């Protein structure tokens, strides 16, 4: 089975094979949040995954060899947010600003440099499980990808997180608001749609940030959602979308207003430009 992807990529378009049944079923078994979809959605997801694999290049680091199972696991989860954003070709345009996906065995240390308000430069190391660069590759921790089936209980999914960043950055800025379709939720203009989206996001972002502060400073109730979402509104968008796609029941309980907003965007065909 591990040679399927190599053979798949060397065939002409007309002769390319579907993802082998055993490989596909193994993926669904490993990640129940995928298998819980209906038959029609799973058929669409399988097609999207196949075309995603045709368009992207996977690179393992530190001796990590990318197998068929690894590639399909990443691709299928990456395609979940765009599942209902139009036909296959249209949906995949959301990800056409990059080709490479870099997979590390586990977390990586990234060098960071920040300048504070008085001009002092601070260098530090940050542990990352994933990263999405504007116009560049996506980086993922394979350990976290492989554990996505069990981490769904906490609403955590590194693949969806990074690919939501890609969707968010589609209009050139990571601000927690993706490019919205015309007349989104009845808005009269694109500007009005964007304003309405950001207003709702900011309300939930501030509320969640207050919960994180209560937990961290005053021994309050731990948040179900990853507290990293309180870092910025774009991180809140990515973190909340992880939970939306992998654990809808708990997400609905925690963020009922965001369910309405996200359903309106992710459940209807939407332009990527």
Q: Name the pLDDT band for 3 (thresholds 50, 70, 90).
A: confident
The confidence score (pLDDT) of residue 9 equals: 81
pTM of the predicted protein model: 0.90
Please check the confidence at residue 255 and state whether its pLDDT lies above 60: yes
251, 179 Cβ separation under 8 angstroms: no
Please check the confidence at residue 25 and state whether its pLDDT lies above 80: yes
Can you name the residues that pair with 128 across neighbouring β-strands? 108
Average pLDDT over residues 75-82: 98
Q: What residues does each domain of the chain span?
A: 4-266
The confidence score (pLDDT) of residue 127 equals: 73
What is the DSSP-derived secondary structure letter of residue 38? -
Burial degree of 199 (CB within 10 A; 0-12, 13-18, 19+): exposed
Q: What is the pLDDT of residues 102-120, one digit of tens each?
A: 999 988 766 545 665 676 6
Q: Which CATH class is domain 4-266?
A: mainly alpha
């Amino acid at each position: 089975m591990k040679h399927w992807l190599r053979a798949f990529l060397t065939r002409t378009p007309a002769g390319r094979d579907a993802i082998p049944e055993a490989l596909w079923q193994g993926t669904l078994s490993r990640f129940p949040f995928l298998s819980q979809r209906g038959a029609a959605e799973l058929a669409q997801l399988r097609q999207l995954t196949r075309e995603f694999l045709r368009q992207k290049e996977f690179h393992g680091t530190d001796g990590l060899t990318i197998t068929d199972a690894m590639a399909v696991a990443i691709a299928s989860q990456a395609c979940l947010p765009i599942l209902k954003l139009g036909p296959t070709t249209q949906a995949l345009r959301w990800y056409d600003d990059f080709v490479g996906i870099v997979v590390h065995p586990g977390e990586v240390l990234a060098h960071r440099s920040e300048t504070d308000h008085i001009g002092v430069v601070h260098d530090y190391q940050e542990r990352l499980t994933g990263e999405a660069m504007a116009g560049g590759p996506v980086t993922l921790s394979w350990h976290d990808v492989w554990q996505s089936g069990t981490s769904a209980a906490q609403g955590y999914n590194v693949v969806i997180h990074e690919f939501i960043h890609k969707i968010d950055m589609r209009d050139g800025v990571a601000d927690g608001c993706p490019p919205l379709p015309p007349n989104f939720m009845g808005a009269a203009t694109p500007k009005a749609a964007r304003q309405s989206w950001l207003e709702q996001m900011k309300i939930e972002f501030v509320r969640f940030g207050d919960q994180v502060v209560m937990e961290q400073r005053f021994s309050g109730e731990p948040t179900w959602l990853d507290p990293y979402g309180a870092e910025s509104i774009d991180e809140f968008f990515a973190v909340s979308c992880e939970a939306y796609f992998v654990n809808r029941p708990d997400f609905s309980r925690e963020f009922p207003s965001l369910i309405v907003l996200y359903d309106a965007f992710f459940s209807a065909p939407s332009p990527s430009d």
